[in-house]
Structure formats: C-alpha cells, structure tokens
C-alpha cells in the first residue's frame, strides 16, 4: 500500500469493529430500500460496496451519516462500539464519521479556507485560528498534488467534476475522521482524475493508518487503484456476497445479473 502501515482492529486489540451495521432496514418516503444490511469495517481497513443502480448503495452511505431524508425502521449502526443509529449528522461528524458526496454542492461566496476552518472547529469542538488552517491547508494541497491557488477559490464554485471530487478528499484530510465513506467518488471522472483521487485517498490513509474507508462504487476501476480488504455486493437492499478483489473482477466480467 505504498508504505501505509497495515493496522486493523485485530492488530490493535480492539474488541469492536470501527463500524458495525446490524440488520439495517431503512426507507424513504415510505418505500423500503435497505432490507437487512449487515457489515463490519475494522480500523485501517478499506471495504468496497458494489451493486447495480437502485440496489441501495447511496442510501446506505446516507443512512450511515444520518441523512434525515431516510428513516431507519430496524437494525443498528454502531461506531467505535457506540450506537449511533439515531444521532444527527453533525453529531456523527463530530465523532469522526465523514461522507464524501457523489454530487458535491457549489456554495458561491464561501471561501474554502473559511469553510474548512468552521468544519475543523466543529469536528474538534474548539476554535481554530486562521493561520493554523492556512498552514494545514497549504501542507495538504502540496501532499495531494493540488495547485496552491485552490485555497483562494470559493467552495466548489465553477469547479470541474474532478476538482469537486479532489476537494472532498482535501476536506477528508483536514477533518481527520476515523471513518470515511466515499459515495461514488469515482463517478464522472476520466482516467487521470480517477488516479488523482485514488492517490489522494492513499495519501490520507498513509497519514492516518487507523482510518477506515468504505468506498461505494458501480465499477471496478477505482479498485484497480486502491487495494480493498473486502468487496461486498449490495443487491435488493441486502449484502448478498462478500469477497476480495476477485469478486470485483467477477462483477466486471459477468455483471450483476447473477446477484439480483
């Protein structure tokens, strides 16, 4: 993994996984979408959730971060052993859960340093100086191979699709979460953009070897750049198969029909 230390919950002796999803059912506007999802992600592990359109992948990502558009009707979500099933999104974020959006919003008028300063302060529950955030931002722009002028722009305003996705990784780096959920971060990216995002994810993992990552994706190609510890197939609102990279290769060759 390019020098990243392999550290899992088992290595650290932690009894509970970082993320534990137990029999999770969830609905939106009265329609059940998740129908009993079971999943565990250990510290330092990277898991991939793959599945066809309409399988519930993005719903799962949003439910894990407490999006109020979805209603949990059964099951539990545990983070670091604590039940967070009904916590508000900001409370989960303060605990160290992070979601990179499939379609990041443009917010004209909000400078990136200002946004990051407020987000980091909320995560830490303490004030963060302008100087500290600028130094930290400059450091991570360099580590991620991003133009320093990026720090002078407004949040996602006028950004290309690739810039928006790289900005999500930049936020992940500065917020220092314990669990990062990447909801189809690879969608709409060309080969160069995909590699840049994947390199960014790995750079953050090198800096934070205990970080757990859950990648939600349709396609195998991002898993050719990242190295998953496990691949799970979500179909019909349930995880119907789990395996290693060979499972992603099988999906690429055969499609999802066999799992529907």
Q: What is the pLDDT of residue 7?
A: 41
Q: Is the pTM of this model over 0.75?
A: yes
When pLDDT is averaged across residues 110-128 and rounded to a whole number, the result is 93
Higher-pLDDT residue of 16 and 145 is 145
The bridge status of strand 31-41 relative to strand 19-28 is antiparallel
Identify the pLDDT of residue 178. 98
Average the pLDDT over 70-89 and give the result: 97
Q: Which of 18-27, 65-74, 104-113, 174-183 has the lowest mean pLDDT?
A: 104-113
Indicate the pLDDT class of residue 162, thresholds 50, 70 and 90: confident
Q: What is the average per-residue pLDDT within 172-182? A: 97
Inter-helix orientation angle 112-124/130-143, to 10° = 110
Structure confidence at residue 14 (pLDDT): 53
Residue with the larger pLDDT of the pair 54 and 12? 54
Query: In this structure, are residues 256 and 234 in contact, taking their beta carbons and an 8 Å threshold?
Result: no
Confidence of residue 4 (pLDDT cuts 50, 70, 90): very low
Query: Which residues make beta-bridge pairs with 74?
Result: 25
SS3 180: strand
What is the domain partition of the chain in residue ranges?
A: 9-259
Does 13 score more than 60 pLDDT? Answer: no
CB 89 within 8 A of CB 65: yes
Has residue 168 got a pLDDT over 80? yes
For the residues 2-20, what does the mean pLDDT come to? 58
10, pLDDT greater than 60: no
Neighbouring residues of 122: CB distance < 8 A, sequence distance ≥ 6: 90, 93, 94
Average pLDDT on 5-23 reads: 66
DSSP H helices, the chain, are: 9-12, 57-64, 89-95, 112-124, 130-143, 161-175, 191-207, 245-254
- Residue 103 is predicted with a pLDDT of 81
Model confidence at 190, in pLDDT bands (50, 70, 90)? confident
Domain at 9-259, CATH homologous superfamily: P-loop containing nucleotide triphosphate hydrolases (3.40.50.300)
């Amino acid at each position: 993994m390019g020098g990243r230390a392999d550290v899992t919950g088992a290595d650290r002796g932690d009894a509970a996984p970082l993320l534990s999803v137990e029999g999770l059912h969830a609905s939106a506007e009265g329609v059940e979408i998740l129908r009993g999802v079971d999943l565990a992600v250990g510290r330092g592990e990277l898991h991939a959730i793959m599945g066809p359109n309409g399988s519930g992948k993005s719903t799962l990502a949003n439910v894990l971060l407490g999006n109020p558009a979805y209603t949990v009707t059964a099951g539990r979500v545990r983070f670091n052993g604590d039940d967070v099933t009904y916590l508000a999104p900001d409370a989960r974020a303060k605990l160290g859960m992070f979601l990179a959006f499939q379609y990041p919003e443009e917010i004209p008028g909000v400078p990136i340093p200002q946004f990051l300063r407020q987000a980091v302060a909320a995560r830490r529950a303490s004030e963060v100086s302008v100087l500290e955030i600028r130094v930290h931002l400059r450091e991570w722009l360099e580590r991620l191979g991003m133009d320093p002028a990026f720090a002078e722009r407004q949040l996602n305003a006028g950004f290309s699709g690739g810039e928006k996705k790289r900005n999500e990784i930049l936020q992940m780096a500065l917020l220092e979460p314990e669990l990062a959920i990447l909801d189809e971060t690879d969608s709409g990216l060309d080969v160069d953009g995909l590699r840049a995002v994947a390199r960014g994810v790995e750079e953050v993992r090198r800096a934070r070897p205990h970080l757990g990552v859950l990648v939600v994706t349709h396609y195998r190609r991002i898993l050719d750049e990242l190295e998953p510890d496990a691949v799970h197939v979500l179909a019909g609102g349930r995880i119907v198969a789990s395996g290693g990279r060979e499972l992603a290769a099988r999906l690429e060759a055969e499609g999802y029909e066999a799992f529907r």
